[in-house]
Structure 1
C-alpha cells in the first residue's frame, strides 16, 4: 500500500510538471535577466548610466600628483613610490587603474552587445544612448593607452577563456578605433549640455585624442567644430569655475557629477590646507615651486624675464590672477574658516610648514575645488569634477594648428581668449611678440600648464611632449620666504628625490596580476 501511494504521488507530480512545461524555466529573481531587460528606452538609460562611473573623478589629482606640478605630501602614501621611481609591476595603482578601466569597458560592451534588442521604435533615441556609451568607452581607452601603450582592444563580450588568451592591440589601431567611435557618436548626439554626454563632449574628446595621437589636422577640425557651434563659452570667473557657484556653466563640456549625502567625494579633505579639514589629514597633494614659477607676471612676462618686474621678496605681487585663484599662498584670505593662510616655517601660522605631519611640506596648498561650503563636513563634498571644458578645446585648437605650422590669426585668437577671461585679463599674445612655431609652442604649452593646473592633464602632457626626463628628476622645491634677518630662504624637500627613467617610465607596466592570469600579455620595456 505504501509503495502504491508513493507511485501515485510521483505520477501526480509528473502530470503537473507535464502540464506546466515552463515550470523549471523561471526568471531569476536575484538579478536582471535578458528575459525582462533590454526592452525599453528606460532600460537603455539605466544600462548607460552604469558606464558613467567609469569617468575619472577625484583621481585626476593623483595624475598631477606624480608630476612636477604637485607632490604627494604624505610620505607614507604608496603613491610616493611612483614619483621616486620605486614603482613595480605589483604596485596597487598600476593595477587599480587597469582594473577600473576594463570594468567600465565590460559594461560598455555589454550595452553595445544588447542595445539592438530594444523593441521600441525610436531609433534617434537609441542612437543617442549608443553615442553616449561609445564616447565613454573611447574616454576609457584614451586613458588606457596614454598610461600603458598597447592594450587589448575589446569591443564585445568575451568569456573567461578569451580573457586568458587575448593579446595587446597596437596603439595605432586603438587610435583608429577611438577616432571612428567618436566621429560616429558625434553624428548621433545632439548638443544638449544637460549633464550627460552630448555632441560637444564627443567632439571635444575627439580633439583631445587626436592631439595626443599627433593627428593634428583631425584635432584642429574637431576643436573648431566645437568652437563654431556657439554652444560653449568661457565662464568669466576663473576661481568660481571650480566652486559650487560655477557648476554647470557654459564652459563645462563634461563633468563627473556628484551630490552631497548621495554621491559625495572627499576632495576637500584630501587637498585643503590641514587647518581647514576638521581633523582630517588634508594636504595630500601640494603644489611645488615648478608650477608657481610657471605663472607669468600680470604684464604677461615670465618671472625670469629681467623686464618683468618680479620681486623675489614679494613673489606673489602682480602675478597672473590665476595663481592666487588656484593656489593657497601665504597671506591669502579668506580661508574657508575666514582666517588667513600662513605657511612660513617657524611662525604661528595655522598651516606652517612641518607644523604637523599632515601640513604642507612645500608651503603651498591647492585652492581649486576647495569650497567653503564643505568646511563643516570635509569628506562629504558634492562638487562636480571638471573633465572637459571649453578652455581646453581652445588650447587644443591652438596647439594643433601650431604643430601643423598654420600660424594664422585664429591661433592667436584662441590663446588670447583663454588669457583674457574677465577675471584674468593678461595682455594679448601678438604675432610681433611670437611669430615662430617654436615661440608659439612654448606659449601654448605654458598656457596649458597654468590654465589646466591640477585637472589631471600634466602627466599626459609631459609624456607626449617627451619632456618628463627634463622636468621630473631631482628634489622638489617649495616656497621662498624671508627669515627674521631678511635672508631669502628656499624650502627644499630633501630626502624626496624624484626620478624618471626615459627608457622605462613613459609607460606604466602591465600589472603583474593580469599577466599571471594571461601569459599572452607582453610587458613594457624596462619593467
Structure 2
C-alpha cells in the first residue's frame, strides 16, 4: 500500500495533466480542454469549479462503499456470524488494524479512484491526502492563473478552505492529531510531516472553516454563478455547512478525550473545555437563528405517519423522516431533503437495490448476502418512554410485562420488535411463521446464523417491506430505491448545540446568539416526533446524560456512536462494552397480533443476556496509524499502544 508521502505528493507530480470531471449531478459544465495544464485548469470559474468537482466526487458513501458494509462500530449494532470478517466484528474483538485491510469499510478502503462515479471506488483515508494535495495546489495557483469576478473567487476559495478542514477532521476523528498540511509540498524533496496534537489540528481546521464561513453564500441559487445551475446546487458547500463543521470541530475539541487524553475509568466524562464549548455553541446558535428565521432552505423533516410501522407517511407530507435515509418510488431521489446539511454525490443508487436494502431482515426473506444489521438490546434500551423519561427512571411507567407499550415514537419507526406485521403481501410462500415478526426467545426470526440474534431488527434506514414478498420476487425490488446516510443533518445541529450548552452550564445555558436553551434544543426534536420534554429534574451531569441519550436515539445507526463514545471517554467503560440480546417469552397467541397493535402485547421473563463483551483498553481510543507511515521518520509517531 502507498504510504502517506506517496499519496500527498502524487497529485503535485501530475498537476500539469490533472483529470477534471463533472460530477454526476452536472453542477456546472466545464470546458473540455480544462484537463490540459494549470493555466487552463485555473483560468476561469467553470474550469476551476470543474477541478473542485473531483473533490466532491471523492466523498465516500459510508453505507454503500461496497456490497455489504459496516459503518456502525459502537455498541449500537451487531451482525450475524457470517459477517465476522467485517469491520464491526473486528472492532468487537479489538482488531483495530482491520481498518487498513477491510475494503468494505468506508474509512480505510484502499481500492479507490478519484474520478470514478461508482460508490465502490471511494474511501476516506486515501482520498483525504489526495484531495488535500489537490486543494493546496489550487491555493498555490489561484492568484497567478484565475481571471474572474471577486464573487467567483470567493466561492472557489470558500470551498477549498472548507474541504481542507473537512478531510483533516474526518481523519482526526479516528486517528487523532495528524500533520495539518496547509501548503503545497515540494516534489523534489521528502518532507518531514510532524504530527500535531489533536487540539493543534483542531485550531488549524477552525481557521480554515472560519474563512469558509466568511466566503460562502447561504444559498448558491442566489449567486451569479449559481444561477446558471439552479436546481443542481443542493449538494454544494455553503455557509451553513461550514458553520456546522466549525461548531462540530470545536465541540470535538472541547470533548473529554481531546482535553484529557485516552484513559479508562470514565471519571472525566463530563469534563469539557468551557472555551471550546462556548465557541461550538455560538457556531450552532448562528445556524439555528438562520434556520428558524427562514433565511435558509433547511428544515426538519416531518414525523407524521398514517402507519409508522410501515413508514407510510400522511398524505399531506411531501418529505418524511424515513426519507432522510431511504426513498422508494421517487425516481431514485437522493435521501436527505431539506434536513440534510452535508452529503456527497450518490450516483450509485443501484447498490441500494441489490445488497444494502436486503441486509436488515431475516436472510430467507431478503435473499441476499447473509450479513444482517441488528440493533443490540442494550442500545434499544436508549429509546425511552413517550413521556420523555428513560426506561430506568422510577417515574417512567415502563413495565417489563408490556415492554413495547408507550415508548418514544421513534422506537416504532426505527425498531422491528416481536409481533410487528412483517409481511404485508397476500403471498407468503413457506414463510407463514414470519408474517408477524417472531422475535421472542426461540421465535421464528431468532436464528443466530441468518436472522436476529438480538430480538430486534432495525428499519430506520430501510423499511421492513424490502423483502421478497412485499417488493416482488425479482431482482427489481424495491422499486426505484435510493439509500444514503447524511454526514450532517439539521437535527444534529440541535443536538450538538444542546451538548455544547450543557457543557457550559446545564439545561438552562444558551448562547447569546440564540434564544434556545440546551433543554429547548432537545425539546425541538422531541416535539417533532411527539415525545415528552426533558424533565426538569435532570440537571448537571444527569442532564448531560439525557442529552447523550437523545443523541443515541435521534442519530441511531447513522454511524456516529463509536466516535461519540470515544470522545466522551466512555468507549472502554463496562456499560458500553457489552452487546446484549433481548430475551422474553411471548404470552399472546398469533390471533392477538392479527387484531391488536403489537405494542400492547404482554410478555414474560423480559431480560437481557450478554452476547459478547469488548476487551478494550486506553489504546483503543484511537485507530492505529499505518505502519508504513510511521516507519518513514521518527516525528510521525504511532498512536500509543499500537
TM-score range, shorter chain: 0.7 to 0.9
2:429 equivalent in structure 1: none
Pairing partner for 1:321 from 406, 409, 412: 409
Report what 1:124 is aligned to.
Answer: 151
Question: CA offsets, 1:113-162, max 9 Å, x none?
Answer: 33345543222122212212322222221122221112111123325665
SS where residue 337 of structure 2 aligns? coil
Deviates more, 1:236-245 or 1:57-66: 57-66
Aligned to 2:128: 101
Does structure 1 residue 81 correspond to structure 2 residue 184? Answer: no
3-state DSSP class of the match of 1:253?
strand
- Within the candidate set 468, 478, 483, 1:383 is matched to 483
Which residue of the other structure, out of 52, 55, 58, is the alignment partner of 2:56? 52
TM-superposed CA distance for 1:475, in Å, is 4.6
3-state secondary structure, aligned to 1:50 = helix
Q: Are the structure 2 counterparts of residues 281 and 134 from structure 1 closer, same or farther at C-alpha, using a change threshold of 3 Å?
A: farther
Aligned match for 1:256, one of 318, 341, 344? 344
In structure 2, the CA distance between the partners of 1:118 and 1:471, relative to structure 1 (3 Å rule), is: farther
Contact conserved, 2:198 with 2:253, CA < 8 A, in 1? no
* 1:277 positional shift: 3.1
The answer to whether the Cα contact below 8 Å between 1:63 and 1:458 also exists between their aligned partners in 2 is: no
Q: Which has the higher contact order (CA 8 A, sep 6+)?
A: 1
**CA distance 1:467–1:28, change in 2 (3 Å):** closer
Alignment of 1:452 with 2:555, yes or no, is yes
What does residue range 290-439 of structure 1 map to in structure 2 within 5 Å?
290-334=378-422, 340-344=436-440, 346-347=442-443, 349=444, 351-354=445-448, 357-371=449-463, 376-377=475-476, 382-405=482-505, 407-408=508-509, 410-421=517-528, 424-430=529-535, 432-434=536-538, 436-439=539-542
Distance 1:519 1:224 in 2: 42
Quick check: 1:183–1:206 contact (8 Å CA) kept in 2?
yes
Residue range with higher mean Cα deviation, 178-187 or 507-516: 507-516
Q: What does residue 599 of structure 2 align with?
A: none
For 2:346 and 2:177, the matched residues in 1 are separated by 32
Q: Any idea what SS the aligned residue of 2:343 has?
A: strand
Gaps of 5+ in 1: 1-26
Q: Are residue 226 (structure 1) and residue 292 (structure 2) matched? A: no
The alpha-carbon distance between structure 1 residues 299 and 62, as it changes in their structure 2 partners (threshold 3 A), is: farther
TM norm structure 2:
0.69
SS at match of 1:66: coil
Structure 1 residues 210 and 28, CA gap change in structure 2 (3 angstroms) = closer
Aligned 8 A contact 2:185 2:191 in 1: no
Q: 2:356 aligns with which of 257, 267, 270?
A: 267
How big is each residue's C-alpha offset from its partner over 1:27-81, in whole Å with a ceiling of 9 and x where there is no partner?
A: 9799643253222212122211111234342259977632111124345314222
Residue 239 of structure 1 pairs with residue 344 of structure 2: no
1:460: how far off? 1.5
Q: Which runs of 5+ in 2 are unaligned?
A: 1-15, 20-34, 110-123, 220-232, 255-275, 304-320, 427-434, 510-515, 589-602
Rate the CA distance shift 1:113–1:360 in 2: closer, same or farther, 3 A: farther
Q: Distance in 1 between matches of 2:484 and 2:217?
A: 22
Q: Note the C-alpha offset of 1:457.
A: 1.6
Counterpart of 2:617 in structure 1 is 501
Cα separation, 2, equivalents of 1:206 and 1:336: 45
- Match of residue 40 from structure 2: 36
- Secondary structure of 1:65 counterpart: coil
Larger Rg: 1
Residue 386 of structure 1 aligns to a residue whose secondary structure is coil
Aligned-partner Cα distance in 2 for 1:514–1:472: 35
Alignment partners' CA distance in 2, 1:87 and 1:107? 29
Matches within 5 A, 1:137-286: 137-159=164-186, 165-192=192-219, 194-214=234-254, 215-230=276-291, 231=296, 232-237=298-303, 238-244=321-327, 247-259=335-347, 266-283=355-372, 285-286=373-374
Are the equivalent residues in 1 in contact too, given 2:415–2:458 (CA < 8 A)? yes
